[in-house]
Amino acid sequence: MKIVGIAACTSGIAHTYIAKEKLMKAAKELGHEIHIETQGTIGTEDELTDLDIKNADIVIVAADINVGGKERFAGKKILNIPTNIAIKSPKSIIKKIQADLGL
């Protein structure tokens, strides 16, 4: 499964990056490809490429705030979650997506 996503929290200095790490680690352990963009207070980092998005099976938006650039995901399957869910149970989320999409 190919996953892309965005992480963004309120302060934009801690949870954003923890959520990203957790999702990346869980996806890799379960054998999926993943690319997560962070929208912290410092700005957007590791920006998703058009190719990443085009090839992705699912978009995970792990955010407590309104993220920018959502129009890039027109026509994609999207899962919106708060960062704390991504931090607490990244593997369960990815398994659930896999089950729901039947991939």
Q: Among this protein's residues, is 99 annotated catalytic?
A: no
| Helix H or strand E encompassing 54 | helix 50-55
Asked if 31 interacts with other proteins (CB under 8 A), we say: no
In the range 34-63, which residues lie near other proteins by CB under 8 A? 41, 58
Quick one: which of 1, 2, 47, 73 contacts other proteins (CB under 8 A)?
73
Residue 103 DSSP one-character state: -
Asked if 74 interacts with other proteins (CB under 8 A), we say: yes
Amino acid identity of 3?
A: I
Closest C-alpha among 72, 82, 80 to residue 97: 80
Closest C-alpha among 72, 81, 56 to residue 4: 56
Assign residue 66 a region: left if phi > 0, alpha if psi is -120 to 50, beta otherwise?
beta
Asked if 1 interacts with other proteins (CB under 8 A), we say: no
The single residue of 9, 24, 59, 61 carrying the catalytic annotation is 9
56/41 Cα distance (integer angstroms): 26
Quick one: which of 1, 2, 18, 33 contacts other proteins (CB under 8 A)?
18
Q: Contact positions toward other proteins, by CB under 8 A?
A: 9-15, 18, 21-22, 41, 58, 64-66, 70-71, 73-81, 84-85, 87-93, 96-97, 100-101
Positions marked active-site = 9
